Structure 1
Amino acid sequence: MTYTSEHPPVPSADELRARIPGWGADLDPRDRPAVPKLRAEETGAHWHFPDRQPETTPRERSIEHAMLTPVFGTSVPLRGLSGQIRRHAYRRYSEARAAHWLLLVLGDRVDAWESHLRSFASTRPDNPITETGIRAEFTHGGLRSRSGRIDRNHQWLDPLLVAGPWIAGGVLAARTARAAGQRVRRRTG
């Protein structure tokens, strides 16, 4: 069983070679620099199965695993729309599928926008001019620092990638506010 002090059963070399193309290319110990580290030694562990960390809130876990690992991170609890996207990625797709990882990346992007929007409700909202490095482009020689870069063909994209989402968000907010204002005027007028 995974996560126990015993090693899980390993299929024979012939079974693996038949099932996985190219398996066993590094079987010769002379070709493997890590062989001395791989020798089974007494670990000194005082447990058969590690004590489980209490799961106070439901955690995401891969569908490949029968249970949650005994110890897990809780630094970024799932919340909002980004949490729903991440939960869906873990609940629906295997880690071997691109959809799993693309949904996790989408969840990260949505989380960033949720954080930006939450900052506007605080006393210290995000400042896209200073926090994205746009100001430094003008005050600390942004163009001059790029003179030795290899990817000169792509330099014009840098300002678009940094400022573009903020400009698009501002335009979207302005259009939404204008449409809401027009609806209010129609109802009252």
Structure 2
Amino acid sequence: MAAIPTPYTSAKPALKESAEDLRARIPGWGADLDPADRPSYPREQPGIETGAHWDFPERQPEKWPRERSVEHAFLTPVFGTSTPPKGASGAIRKYAYKYSEGRAAHWLLLVAADRVDATEHHVKSLATLHPDNPITETGVLSEFRRGGLSSRLGQKRADTNHQWIDPIIVAAPWVLAGLGGVAAIRALKRAAVGRK
């Protein structure tokens, strides 16, 4: 297969404009063209093998439409397949890739998709015979068994300024879900009494 000048090959893409045109249009462009101004120049000399030369790899088959950054012309030759996007979190992830990776919207949507995915899995676990157990699965018990308090006091840890809010962040979704469940049961009871 012929080398395609992309980020995935060792071939250096040709400039769309000449160096002189770029230098005239962009102040300071090409400041490092003189090898004397580049500290990495000795390693760039011809004849020094860096091991960075390779051909375009065989493309992995795409079994479903994959998310692709708008900065890339096509999907990378190899990509993960362990967790295909599904549900509301998958829709949010797909939508995030409509934005450039340089925009906050892209990353904020991906973070939101992770939170939605976690919520989807918690709700799904409640529908099974083995729901999530926040007491054992969050490591709360190890705080009492493994010296949790002593590991936080007098240790000059970087995360001590937000430790007060960590229990709230972990417990709040469970408390809110419990309150929502109680409210739903009360509403169903009222509706049943109202029908009689």
TM interval, short-chain normalised = 0.7 to 0.9
C-alpha displacement of 1:173: 2.4
CA gap of 1:106–1:17, structure 2 versus 1, over 3 A, is farther
Identical residues among aligned pairs (%): 49
Instruction: Check conservation: 1:17, 1:24, Cα contact below 8 A.
Output: no
C-alpha displacement of 1:161: 2.1
Instruction: Find the aligned partners of 2:189 and 2:151 in 1 and give their Cα distance.
Output: 45
TM value normalised by structure 1: 0.78
How many residues were matched structurally?
A: 183
Residues 33-83 of structure 1: CA deviation (Å, up to 9, x unaligned): x962796758664x5x43211111110111222211122111221011100
- Give 2:118's aligned amino acid: A
Residue in structure 1 matched with residue 178 of structure 2 by the alignment: 170
Q: Select the structure that is richer in helix.
A: 1
Residue in structure 2 matched with residue 142 of structure 1 by the alignment: 148
1:156 and 2:161 aligned:
no
Instruction: Check conservation: 1:85, 1:107, Cα contact below 8 A.
Output: yes
Structure 1 residue ranges, 4+ long, deviating more than 3 angstroms after superposition = 10-14, 16-27, 37-45, 149-155
Residue in structure 2 matched with residue 6 of structure 1 by the alignment: 11
- Give 1:169's aligned amino acid: A
CA gap of 1:58–1:144, structure 2 versus 1, over 3 A, is same
- Give 2:186's aligned amino acid: R
Aligned to 1:73, which of 70, 80, 83? 80
C-alpha displacement of 1:164: 2.0
Instruction: Check conservation: 1:51, 1:70, Cα contact below 8 A.
Output: yes
Residue in structure 1 matched with residue 90 of structure 2 by the alignment: 83
Residue in structure 1 matched with residue 106 of structure 2 by the alignment: 100
- Give 1:104's aligned amino acid: L
Instruction: Find the aligned partners of 1:121 and 1:4 in 2 and give their Cα distance.
Output: 48
- Give 1:8's aligned amino acid: P
What value does the CA root-mean-square deviation take over the aligned residues?
Answer: 3.3
Instruction: Find the aligned partners of 1:69 and 1:15 in 2 and give their Cα distance.
Output: 29
Residues 111-136 of structure 1: CA deviation (Å, up to 9, x unaligned): 11111122223332211001112222
Ranges in structure 2 where 5+ consecutive residues have no aligned partner: none
TM value normalised by structure 2: 0.75
C-alpha displacement of 1:26: 10
